A and B are shown apart, each in its own frame.
Chain A
Amino acid sequence: MARKDLLDIASLQREEIELLLDQSTAFKQLLTSSGKKVPVLEGKSVLMLFYEPSTRTHSSFEVAAKRLSAEVTNFNVAHSSITKGESVRETIETLQAMRTDYIIVRHGRSGLPGMIARLTKASVINAGDGAHEHPTQALLDAFTIKEKFADPRGKRVLIIGDILHSRVARSTSTLLQKLGVEVAYLGPGSLVPKYGPATIRRFTNYDEAMAWGPDFVYLLRVQMERQDVQFFPSLREYHRIYGITNTRLEDIRQRGLYIMHPGPVNRGVELCDAVMDYERSLINNQAENGIAVRMAVLNWLTPGGDLPKREPAYASRSGAAPALVMP
């Protein structure tokens, strides 16, 4: 099945994920062996629409697109997360004239890439939308885990930090679960919503979470800019209760656990400096794998075709509201 857009992990089939991860392996081999361009997207144009600043994801996508010989354009948008849907619509309508094939969009508003996808025939890739999803991050995380365990079924991943606001947590946990990986959340009660998926265990105590026996410890970035609303009293306190301190790193080393982090790292908050030299830290592998995974995604999507239509939820229930049987 050809897909126009990659907006989320939730709607991906397991087979699609397997295919993408296999193709990522091929692209990574290609990269490491030759480091050359491939003409897969020759003559195609890729538009980068980043409403939130992100050097890491932005350059990873840009390198991926260029390695596939695509022409990359950066649309200059104000680096403001409050840019509303209204002005984005106008931008997209203007951009239609440019006949771009792929649009890579990051925005502070959840659901906004989906809105763009319904407005354009270009393939839209969600590079992070609000607290909703970040599908390529999830794919690169899964790819990195599969490099350690070719069959990750039954492995355990403990995601630590601000689950409430984290699109990484949502996408990565959804994808890992589709691959048969067990996922648990750990964080302050104010940042780990109790109404999250029932299939994900929820811890607020570090020692209890470690007793669960994770194979990977996945640290989320603490969003410093969110500190206008207090979800925990101080960064120092956060580090002490949920961070990887020197003592905890020693324990992790003895248990032989892998450490992951989507970057960029707040040193002294999520983790102590020593983690960066820890032999089972996969933080750099994640960054490197991002390019191969994004090449695979660009190669996989098919621009053009019909615009995705939104079936009204009301209609999809065969004319009846839930639990109200049609006479």
Chain B
Amino acid sequence: MILLQNTRIASENSPVLVEGDVLIVEGVIQQIGPGLAVPEGARVIDARGRILMPAMFDAHVHFRAPGFENKETITTGSEAAINGGVTGVVMMPNTRPAIDSSAVVSTVLESAKRKSRIPVYTSGCVTKDREGKELAEIDGMRLLGVTMLTDDGDTTGDPAVLLRAMQYATEFGMFFASHCEVPELAGPRAINEGVMSYRLGIKGSPACAEEIIIDRDIRLARAAGAHVHIQHVSSKMGMETIKWWKSRGDVKVTAEVAPHHLLFTEEHIGDYDTNYKMNPPLRTQADCDALLEGLKEGVFDLIATDHAPHTPFEKAQDFISAPNGITGLETALVSLYHFFVRPEKFGWDLVVKRYSAEPRRLMGLPVPTIEVGQPAECLLFDTEAETTFTKEFMKSKSQNTPFINQTLQGRVDVVILGTEILLEREATVAVG
């Protein structure tokens, strides 16, 4: 039994926070109301000043296993998730070997069961070894629960191959997540083509490299009657392309945006800072502004971090040599609060809807809510406390984030999943 006293409850349906106590018995929310009696033997958490909300779900993470365990493992990745208030993730399949067969899927899921305290789901490749040539073992993966197919890290280059995959797999209720980039236009450098690529003398990737594939893949999905999910959109025109297709209503499209694309621009790269090197690249303030509008309007169904760990050694190279990607699981919720909720750019309801509810709906999973009779899957967020993202604070094996050693307002204090308290930042629990 866990009793949360004097909390304020956030939900996806209302910007208003509801005050009250919440009693959790055997992992299920049993009572909500003001001044609940303290049952004997209950663990009491005084949640005064803190906000209770459903725990987050990240539909786009790289846990690097198998093959790159020096960057991240399922254990460190899932602990990082908990540290950030996330209780479920979907891994991307660009591992070594790539997650493209029932054999690899079952290995990964087996090890996730043993090594993670939260549910870890995996997507599967569209094509064998992500090479864009032969179809991966699609139905074999589906039988193990895979629903999302993606060659993330790259676009499935040959549209004929992707179309065939869509025609085939839609039959089994699977959907496609698209990393959108024409490689011939983008080059390998992960910087926006523009003022900064000129100034730094690095070949840039124009926004049209992304926009072409967004449009292409939605058209393919329409032709195949498939559901396509557009990953980590970075450009204004990309957002507008999705918006236009959604307004037509004759193709199933969902889309995600990452916090870093809302927060940072190419200017932040400054003096070749590799913590700002990611793919798709950071673009301009106009793009950031448009993405924020897209998020508020619902063009983006969900927020996902594209958590992409790399070792300090790899990121300490020159900009061109360094790998793409930044970690996001531990900083996402706090940064969303600090930069958007606190200055009232949007409310907690949007955070809960876009980072907790919608990603689970995308994956066909039950959506936790703070309601009587629902399983407990929630977190307490302290809006008055601060978080400093030191190396010691981070649970991820890698700390390649612009927020390293920075302090932001807000803190994830407690994370509860069923009967377990997965995270308890300070000893706030007493026994009643």
Q: Which residues of A contact B (CB under 8 A)?
A: 10, 84-86, 88-89, 109-112, 114-115, 129-133, 167, 170, 193, 195-197, 310, 312-316, 319-327
Contact = CB atoms under 8 A, between A and B. Distances in A.
A313 B406 CA distance: 11
Interface in B149-208: 193-195, 197-203
A326 B319 CA distance: 29
Contacts of B340: 324
Given A89-B316, A314-B406, 16 more contacts: A85-B317, A85-B318, A85-B322, A86-B321, A129-B201, A131-B203, A193-B198, A310-B271, A310-B273, A312-B275, A312-B402, A321-B268, A322-B268, A322-B285, A323-B288, A324-B340
Contacts of B409: 327
B269 interface: yes
B139 interface: no
Nearest to A308: B271
Contacts of B317: 84-86, 89, 115
Q: Lowest 10 CB-CB distances: which A-B pairs, in order?
A: A85-B317, A131-B201, A132-B201, A85-B318, A111-B272, A85-B321, A110-B201, A313-B268, A313-B270, A84-B321
A94 B343 CA distance: 49
Given A195-B198, A323-B289, A327-B343, A110 B406 contact: no
A167 B202 CA distance: 11
B318 A109 contact: yes
Contacts of B300: none
B83 interface: no
A281 B149 CA distance: 63
Contact of B320 (A85, A319, A320, A327): A85
B402 A313 contact: yes
A10 B200 CA distance: 11
A132 B200 contact: yes
A167 B407 CA distance: 38
A88 B321 CA distance: 11
A315 B406 contact: yes
Which of A86, A310, A312 gathers the greatest number of chain B CB atoms within 10 Å? Answer: A312
Contact of B276 (A115, A167, A313): A313
Interface stretch (B8-16, B66-74, B259-267, B349-357): B259-267
A103 to B, nearest CB: 15
B272 A115 contact: yes
A89 B194 CA distance: 29
Interface size class of B (residues with CB under 8 A): 35 or more
14 contacts: A84-B318, A85-B318, A86-B317, A109-B321, A110-B200, A110-B319, A112-B318, A310-B271, A312-B404, A313-B269, A313-B402, A315-B406, A320-B339, A327-B409
B403 interface: yes
Contacts of A319: 406-407
Contacts of B270: 310, 313, 316
B342 interface: yes
A84 B318 CA distance: 8
Interface in B247-282: 263-265, 267-273, 275-276
A271 to B, nearest CB: 25
Contacts of B195: 195
B405 to A, nearest CB: 8
B202 A130 contact: yes
B403 to A, nearest CB: 7
B343 A325 contact: yes
Query: Chain B at the A interface: mostly helix, strand, loop or mixed?
Result: loop
Which of B193, B195, B345 gathers the greatest number of chain A CB atoms within 10 Å? Answer: B195
A115 B318 contact: yes
Nearest to A129: B201
B318 A88 contact: yes
Contacts of B321: 84-86, 109
A324 B409 CA distance: 14
Interface string B203-241: 100000000000000000000000000000000000000
Nearest to B194: A195
Nearest to A167: B201
A1 B237 CA distance: 46
Nearest to A321: B263
A42 B402 CA distance: 43
Contact of A327 (B199, B268, B342, B406): B342
A195 B288 CA distance: 19
Contacts of A323: 285, 288-289
A79 B323 CA distance: 24
Contact of A321 (B201, B318, B339): B339
Given A310-B271, A312-B273, A324-B343, A10 B199 contact: yes
A190 to B, nearest CB: 13
A186 B288 CA distance: 33
Contacts of B276: 313
A313 B316 contact: no
A75 B268 CA distance: 34
A89 B313 CA distance: 10
Which of A10, A170, A310, A322 gathers the greatest number of chain B CB atoms within 10 Å? Answer: A322
Nearest to B322: A85
A309 to B, nearest CB: 11
Nearest to B264: A321
Interface string B74-100: 000000000000000000000000000
Contacts of B405: 312
Contacts of A109: 318-321
Contact of A131 (B193, B202, B267, B288): B202
A111 B272 CA distance: 6
